[in-house]
Amino acid sequence: MSSTDPDALLVDRVKRGDMHAFEMLVVKYQRRIQRLVARMVRDTEQVEDIAQETFIRAYRALPQFRGESAFYTWLYRIAVNTAKKTLMDMKRDPVVTESALASRGDSNETSSLENELSTTETPEAVLASREIAQTVNAAIEALPDDLRQAIVLREIEGLAYEEIASLMNCPIGTVRSRIFRAREAIAQRLRPLLGTKPGERW
Amino acid sequence: MVQGRDERVAADPLREALSALVDGEADAAAAGDGVSQWRDDEDAKATWHAYQLIGDVLRSEDLAGGHRDRVFLQRMHARLIKEPALLAPAPDLPQAAPAAHGGVLHRWAVPVGLAAGVALVLGTLLVVRQGPGADGAVLADAKPVLSLQPPVELVAVAGSSSSPVLLRDPRLDRYLAAHKQFQSANAMGPSTGFIRSATYDAATR
């Protein structure tokens, strides 16, 4: 299974009671899940709540996950179901529906712009995201060709190390090393942008 | 020109192992080491996050956020620690066979609060439903059911130094002994057949 689903190792550990392994999967997928939910749910304050609910449901249901699909496929389905359930519950609640309708119906230009941006997408956050994207792109371009090729084949083409080794005509150990060095070179530029403020910790 | 910038990346076997874990290209032992590293080291947490964010951004720039990721994880952590532990057999726990050991296992009364906590775990395990189709496409809320009457005399089974103490109800032990698949070191966790056959009858829904 580990050759097909990169998450299999961590999922196995979660099944044996390792909560930290699950947290590592949360860090991996939280952005994708929130983006997915944000496409379905207009109320941006609920996006994070629904994403959190998705992960809790996945955690509880993990004993029954048998790896017949990739972990992320399974998680994706849970996210969609959780968002749908929230939407259905909202429709049944007349108070919620009224206030949601009120904000959507407002034709004032300022507030419609506020509706476009989520509560997390303040102008500062938008600029910071742009800076992160630019930093990653610049770092990728600055990489030596072999490192860039390795990380692109892995992250964008989704190839396994063995396949990359075959394509790049080098040992698997070299693939592992190149991908690591590419990541570290990019991460070195990113760390100041993502840096923890004093007193802040994971 | 920043050619050769990668020369400044010092050899770091721990971080390289973490990088391999990002790709699932490690063995189970290395995965365990990676999780321990993540758990114990703030820098490792930041590195794991950075490596994952890099992948997301390469695939799509509108995932370039990451500012509230730390907050998100802290909230998840607060919720996860309240969840009952996932009840999957760990290979390094000694087999609980009360009859065979003839009095070696120590029994002592457990406070009602803890007994209720264990009841909650058992109830959660026994009422989780398997929906139609594979892999929980239809999920039921796992409503906890208090299936034990307090006070319950619980047996504490001492785990190895790396695993937590597992509390067991003697009635559960007898039930589990009758269902061998739970006792075996099954890396995939309890079979769904066990869960389905335990106390839940789909026909009575």
Chain A's closest residue to B1, CA to CA, is A142
Token code pair at residue A54: 């998705």
Distance of CA A32 to the CA centre of its chain: 3
Q: Would you call B182 exposed, middle or buried from its count of C-beta atoms within 10 A (0-12, 13-18, 19+)? A: buried
A8-25 mean pLDDT: 96
Yes or no, beta carbons of B46 and A191 under 8 Å apart: yes
**Closest by Cβ to A201, choosing from B42, B69, B164:** B42
B156 DSSP assignment: E
pLDDT on residue B132: 45
Q: Tell me how far apart the alpha carbons of residues A154 and A160 are, in angstroms, rounded to a whole number.
A: 7
Percent of chain A with pLDDT over 90: 67
pLDDT, residue A90, reads: 80
Q: Give the type of residue at A16.
A: R
Chain A hits for B164, CB-CB cut-off 8 Å, are 17
Q: A76 or B67, which is more confident? A: A76
- Look at B76 and A183 and tell me if their CB atoms are within 8 Å: no
Q: What is the value of ipTM here, to two decimals? A: 0.87
Q: How far is A108 from chain B (nearest CA, A)?
A: 27
Residue A142 is nearest to which of B5, B31, B190, comparing CB atoms?
B5
**C-alpha to C-alpha distance for A194 and B80, rounded to whole angstroms:** 25
DSSP, res B203:
G
Q: Is A201 in Cβ contact with B139 (below 8 Å)?
A: no
pLDDT at A199: 62
Collapsed DSSP state (helix, strand, coil) of residue B93: coil
Query: Which residue's structure tokens are 């006070």?
Result: B151
B contacts of A15 (beta carbons < 8 Å)? 86, 88, 187-189
pLDDT at B9: 75
Q: A117 — contact with chain B (CB < 8 Å)? A: no
Residue A42 touches partner B, C-beta closer than 8 Å: no
Q: Nearest Cβ partner of B135 from A52, A69, A161?
A: A69
Fold of domain A1-114:
Rna Polymerase Sigma Factor; Chain: A (1.10.1740)
Residue type, A41: V
Q: What is the pLDDT of residue B83?
A: 94
Of the candidates B4, B23, B31, the beta carbon closest to that of A154 is on: B23
How much is the mean pLDDT over chain A? 87
Domain boundaries, chain A: 1-114, 122-202
Residues in chain B: 205
Q: Which residue of B has its CA nearest to A182?
A: B6
The pLDDT of residue B169: 61
d(CA A134, CA A111): 29
**Do the chains contact at B70 and A160, CB–CB below 8 Å?**
no
Instruction: Return the pLDDT at B127.
Output: 42
Which of chain B's residues have a Cβ under 8 Å away from the Cβ of A25?
none
Asked if A114 has any chain B CB less than 8 Å from its own CB, the reply is no
Put simply, the chain A residues between 94 and 113 with a CB less than 8 A from any chain B CB are none
Whether A146 contacts chain B with CB within 8 A: no
Q: Do B77 and A23 touch (CB under 8 A)?
A: yes
CB within 8 Å: B53 and A185: no
Yes or no, beta carbons of B19 and A77 under 8 Å apart: no
Mean pLDDT (10-residue bins), chain B, 205 residues = 56 94 96 96 95 96 83 95 76 46 46 49 45 41 44 45 52 62 46 43 45
* Whether the predicted pLDDT of A70 surpasses 60: yes
CA triplet A146, B9, B72: central angle to 5 degrees? Answer: 100
Closest of A153, A138, A152 to residue A186, by C-alpha: A138
Tell me, yes or no, if B72 comes closer than 8 A to chain A by beta carbon. Answer: yes
Q: Domain A122-202 carries which CATH code?
A: 1.10.10.10
H-helix or E-strand containing B162?
A: none
What's the pTM? 0.66
Q: How far apart are CA A62 and CA A74, in angstroms?
A: 10
Q: Report whether B105 contacts B155 (CB < 8 A).
A: yes
